[in-house]
Structure 1
């Protein structure tokens, strides 16, 4: 299933060569998967002198996945088919400083119910629910049966048993799989599987939103979510006795380079914003002041942007020196919004602060999956589990739609990349 998913469409003969299975085994397994609605025909290809060979692909309608992004200002829940095309979504706003555990759990559970009802999906087709969350996710030995526990110092969470709380909501039937990870890690996995990290063995994926985080990929293995890993790169010290970070420490990178810090520094320099202005609107206002369509630029706003580019570049230089990635991807809503104005300066500063040898081999690029990359990445968590379990469903899925020529996830991700540029959601 995994080989067919990432490399399909493929013929039975090609699958045999790719998996080292006999033709009889391939025929038996494919027949089972077709009967379960997980694999379908996708046209034919000419063979050398013989009959045309039938191509197979993973059926997009064979199962569904849910990805959840617990962001700074809202909880976003998206329902995807197996090709990761969006079937339904909902956004539930969070009040400022609104990381009340009960509210977040309610938003997730109600959002799951809403998207499944909207798309008419039954629970037997759902492979699982992936959740991207700020903070450190610890599973421990799970002797107490609590599942994933979240330590989110910046959001006021200390050992929150999020997985058991979600299970207790009873929105989904017992046995529903929940997969909870740091949001930077889910984003990183999505970019490595489908986006700007494909084909790269060593990478650093930077999540630049209200705060900053990173996912590290070393020799193809994704790190960045559990037990104090480099997902908390935003809380490395940039300046001794510097600005106070929302984690309580002084001088963290996040206190200088996150969108929240960016807006605060602009206001401290004299900018005035309405009290109820959200961060995305504030960042848009700063960019309009620094790069107006007409008239002179605001030097204060320009200076704040320049400083942000240098702070971010300096932080990325630490990732370059410590891990020597081939590629650094700048992602997150603020990173994508600011990139047209600061990316060249970020590259320049990162290479200036980094050691010459690792700096010469790295490229710094934009992520390709747009602002929804965290939810896409969260949905890859149950997808990875699905492959690890052998690609099996407990019950037969509904028949899919008519086959199409393109492999499912490739077509979806190409569409998602284009939609990210136009800021339109990807729907099936």
Structure 2
């Protein structure tokens, strides 16, 4: 028996609201008239949706523009103060928490160092909970005004049916950690405040795709180069596997059979050569000297200073050789992605990638060209991400923003039977929440 697709008036209204919100958010301010061709909605639907969104406090006027011989047209935009988002980056050197308004303007931030602490789950959960409390207090924003909290993590994130997100972070010793449940308990956030956990490389990728160097690109690879390395792969404008699918564990691609031992336990992974942790370990092995008590970020700074002294002194050939080897392995790893996905561009982000990029990017490009097939290599540009070291927190906050758009800017109320509309019929509910 063929099942008839059932949709609801709520689905229709939510889709219309989402279309208007997204168009105004990414391409606004715009007038009602400009929204017609931009969304494909009728003038009646635009009028109803704009009235509704304005009544909800989600839209506001943003000036006027002259029309051709007619009355000036009022411009509309998404109201920045209509809601707030928290982005959390659980990195491998620190936990960074930032509060944003709807325009993604940073309102407050806090950081907790993980140097010497390790990846104890309870400590990290407490750091996240305290960070959320701190940024809300600093900005004077009540928890009930939050649209949600997004969290970027190292590792694979899975969501078994009926359960919250589980994190499998093999390199940090996490195995099926019920992070979403732990955070929900520790933060004490209102039930209606969404909590979204995802892989940090995917969060970075979505941030660069929406707001950074990947905006407007159909096929792009965004690399997270920090303590380890990961990648977000975008094809035809969409993140592979979706934001809730498995991440691309590119850092654990084998680049040297029987090579160096990786943090994951295998041998020869790209991350054993290209991550900041491995980079500093290789430098120490050949005589490099790190400052006393230096963490990874200070260590990378010291390595770069040795390879390219500020005063124009002689470069340390050992440091130069370590950087060149890193560029070669990174280029080889990128060549695999270039051959597999033929992207139009590759963006390198993450704190280590942005710090090392100006020194090794040319060499990375040269090695990627030498390993990749000529045709896809000739079509790709390789550059640095545009959002800086905070890109993962921005990306984590976009997890909330994506949910906000998907729900048409509303926290969903329970579905009523009279809202149901069967596809292929003209029957509609007579009383829906004042909708279109």
Instruction: State whether residues 65 and 74 of structure 2, in contact with CA within 8 Å, keep that contact through their aligned partners in structure 1.
Output: yes
1:106 equivalenced with 2:87 (yes/no): no
Question: What are the Cα deviations for residues 90-116 of structure 1, in whole angstroms up to 9, with x where unaligned?
Answer: 001113361111011111111111111
* Aligned equivalent of 2:252: 235
* Aligned equivalent of 1:20: 40
* Aligned equivalent of 1:399: none
Question: What are the Cα deviations for residues 248-290 of structure 1, in whole angstroms up to 9, with x where unaligned?
Answer: 1111000001111111111100012245210111111111111
1:393 Cα deviation (Å)?
Answer: 5.3
Task: Point out the more displaced range, 123-132 or 178-187.
Answer: 123-132
Instruction: State whether residues 206 and 213 of structure 1, in contact with CA within 8 Å, keep that contact through their aligned partners in structure 2.
Output: yes
1:319 equivalenced with 2:337 (yes/no): yes
Instruction: State whether residues 354 and 388 of structure 2, in contact with CA within 8 Å, keep that contact through their aligned partners in structure 1.
Output: yes
* Aligned equivalent of 1:120: 140
Question: What TM-score results when the alignment is normalised by the length of structure 2?
Answer: 0.87
Equivalent pairs counted in the alignment come to: 391
Q: Which ranges of 4 or more aligned residues in structure 1 deviate by more than 4 Å?
A: 224-228
* Aligned partner of 1:63 among 77, 83, 86: 83
| Structure 1 gap segments, 5+ residues each | 396-428
1:355 equivalenced with 2:357 (yes/no): no
| Partners of 2:117 and 2:261 in 1: CA distance | 17
1:335 equivalenced with 2:353 (yes/no): yes
Task: Point out the more displaced range, 279-288 or 29-38.
Answer: 29-38
| Partners of 2:409 and 2:187 in 1: CA distance | 26
Q: RMSD in angstroms over aligned alpha carbons?
A: 1.5
| Partners of 1:275 and 1:62 in 2: CA distance | 47
* Aligned equivalent of 1:190: 207
* Aligned partner of 1:288 among 294, 305, 308: 305
Question: What are the Cα deviations for residues 112-143 of structure 1, in whole angstroms up to 9, with x where unaligned?
Answer: 1111111111223211100000000001223x
Question: What are the Cα deviations for residues 210-241 of structure 1, in whole angstroms up to 9, with x where unaligned?
Answer: 110000001111137666541x1001101011
How is 1:86-105 mapped onto 2 (pairs within 5 angstroms)? Answer: 86-96=106-116, 98-105=118-125
| Partners of 1:180 and 1:217 in 2: CA distance | 19
Instruction: State whether residues 197 and 203 of structure 1, in contact with CA within 8 Å, keep that contact through their aligned partners in structure 2.
Output: yes
How is 1:179-218 mapped onto 2 (pairs within 5 angstroms)? Answer: 179-218=196-235
Q: Name the SS for the 1:313 alignment partner.
A: helix
| Structure 2 gap segments, 5+ residues each | 1-20, 414-436
1:257 equivalenced with 2:277 (yes/no): no
* Aligned equivalent of 1:297: 315
Question: What TM-score results when the alignment is normalised by the length of structure 1?
Answer: 0.89
| Higher Rg | 2
